[in-house]
Structure 1
Amino acid sequence: MTRTEEFEELRPLLFSIAYRILGGVSEAEDAVQETWLRFEASTTEPRSVKAFLSATVTRLSIDVLRSARVRRESYVGPWFPEPLLDDPYEDPERAAELADSVSMAALLLLERLSPLERAVFVLREVFDFGFPEVASAVGRSEAACRQLAVRARRHMAAGRPRFEADRREREELASRFFDALHEGDVAALRDLLAADVTLVGDGGGKAPQLARAILGADNVARLLGSVVERLSQAGVTFTPHEVNGQPGAVFHDRDGQVLHTFALDVLDGRINAVRIVINPDKLAHLGPVADAWAIDREIRARRRARDRG
């Protein structure tokens, strides 16, 4: 194969590695593109193209993550990864691990690790690279990488999400949730939520967002019922779609532009977390982005007109 063909064959893997290290679609795509430029410019033929490209994209991602962490410390409100609708890398034998590792919950846990721990965990635990390959990718000894892996596993195990084992049951629960959401059926929503469910939004100060996390089945069900009703009156619709390997939905304005995404965590037959990404910077890769502030003004104007009437 030509270099271009070899690279394109491995592109899905490279993106999936970079996204799990960085938590950003645009940053991962940039890392993959820079990896191609370095591969194209290389005058030597690597013994293993996969090892060379994986190491290159990993090192680039580590460098980007180190600077990104500084920005995230000053982020306005809760920070969530950029929503990923479709993971381009597939491995039937590791499908469950791949889906769980890209979930919002898992990526937020990865944020607790150092850049090196995160890279080692992703390569070793998610993609099953051998320690010699991991050591080459991160520029550390195999012994050091084993220690990094141990620490990373310990941190991840402490808060590791354990999602619904039966994928079909999880999807059926999500379908009932979105049916109830569409109908504005607060009682039905409440029955599908865990008692300690959490609803959190990420607007980054660039879109209307919740002032704080909403806790408890009653509070979350009432809020979702009222908010979706007002959004519907403003022409907003939603389409269920897997988000970060878990049940979710994409919301659009009346012109078909992306307003925000929902991602659900399902555990023990109930939904125990709803995460909303509405920061427009994190939605641009999904298509044209809606003006959330304009929709918010329209909703407020409707409410004032109703109150006067």
Structure 2
Amino acid sequence: MTRAEQMTRAEQFEQLRPLLFAIAYRILGSVSEAEDAVQDTWLRYDAFPRQPTSAKAFLSAAVTRISIDVLRSARWRREAYVGPWFPEPLLTDPYADPERSAELADSVSMAALLLLERLTPLERAVFVLREVFGFGFPEIASAVGRSEAACRQLSVRARRHMDAGRPRFEADRRQRERLAERFFDAFRKGDVDGLRELLAADVYLVGDGGGKAPQWKRIIGPENVSRTLAAMVAPLVRIGVGVHPHETNGQPGAVFRDRDGRVLCILVLDILDGQVQTIRSVLNPDKLRHVGPVADAWALVREAAQSRIADGSGAGM
């Protein structure tokens, strides 16, 4: 293969890289694993002895097969996971398609990815390729190594499961953003009343620390959630932790950083009917490293507790 041919192949791959990552992330729910799957896809493509008829079909099939294998091996780790398991937060989806923008936005949300966890690896892959990216069944059959008829059955089963629990979000993006602004403004101030009026009657707050960072059991109801949030933020702000709103997994969210800019956690909101329905926090440092240097959450909790004692506001967080 000439250098010109190698460059052409590399250019084709780079052009399709955003799509390949988008497919892998939705199948795996992990930024780091998706990036590894994309890299392994390049190695297969680079080593392939001839030029495929369609680079997109070849690469999409390869990244799907790799992702299915990774997901199968990851299942036992997730079953043994300490506490609730959430996907790795995605701050920016590199793939954009105006014709499928709604499907892309919904499919990357935390709620949708958690629903996808209930599917088998094959169902998940077929659903992602068909419902999210609009692949035809011949392409899907080639990608997953099943007949078209089998893929149609997998698609029906997957869609039935997803439709039964499909998350709903605020359709008006600007209205959602305004509510999120009000939420984080009240949150920074520790304004219990301001928070409470933005929370749904059945709101719940839950964190994923994976046994490697502080986390709490599910907290339910506007009164409990608002008071927990207000009590949480004051000592953190006092020691220099900043709350930086940032869309996460297509939904309103925020990145918490310590005074040195290291990531403490990421908070994601589900908003519907003008109220916050769910608040998820990812604190597991292993799920935050792709965002940047990670803070020592335990050390920050101790420092925050000490600052409360010194301030006379009580011990602990």
Specify the TM-score bucket, using the shorter chain as the normaliser.
over 0.9
Aligned to 1:169: 175
Q: Is the 8 A contact 2:202 2:277 kept in 1?
A: yes
- 2-side partners of 1:204 and 1:245: how far apart? 23
Aligned to 1:31: 37
Structure 2 residue identity aligned to 1:88 = P
Query: What's the secondary structure of 2:279's corresponding residue?
Result: strand
Aligned to 2:129: 123
**2:279 pairs with 1:270:** no
Q: Aligned in 2, Cα 1:139/1:229: closer, same or farther, shift over 3 Å?
A: same
RMSD between superposed Cα atoms in Å:
1.2
Q: Is the 8 A contact 2:200 2:276 kept in 1?
A: yes
Match of 2:205 among 156, 181, 199: 199
Query: What's the secondary structure of 2:290's corresponding residue?
Result: helix
Map residues 1-309 of structure 1 onto 2, 5 A cutoff.
2-210=8-216, 212-305=217-310, 306=312
Q: Aligned in 2, Cα 1:303/1:182: closer, same or farther, shift over 3 Å?
A: closer
- 2-side partners of 1:282 and 1:54: how far apart? 25
TM-score by length of 1: 0.98
* Count of aligned residue pairs for this structure pair: 308
- 2-side partners of 1:97 and 1:230: how far apart? 39
- 2-side partners of 1:251 and 1:260: how far apart? 5
Q: C-alpha offsets along residues 214-267 of structure 1, whole Å, 9 cap, x if unaligned?
A: 000111011101101111112101110000000000000011100000100011
> Which aligned segments of 4 or more residues in structure 1 are displaced greater than 3 angstroms?
none
Query: What's the secondary structure of 1:275's corresponding residue?
Result: strand
Structure 2 residue identity aligned to 1:231 = L
- 1-side partners of 2:85 and 2:200: how far apart? 23
Q: Is the 8 A contact 2:235 2:305 kept in 1?
A: no
Aligned to 2:4: none
- 1-side partners of 2:313 and 2:31: how far apart? 43
Structure 2 residue identity aligned to 1:139 = G
Structure 2 residue identity aligned to 1:223 = T
Query: What's the secondary structure of 1:59's corresponding residue?
Result: helix
- 2-side partners of 1:119 and 1:59: how far apart? 9
Q: Aligned in 2, Cα 1:68/1:308: closer, same or farther, shift over 3 Å?
A: closer
Query: What's the secondary structure of 2:88's corresponding residue?
Result: coil
TM-score by length of 2: 0.95
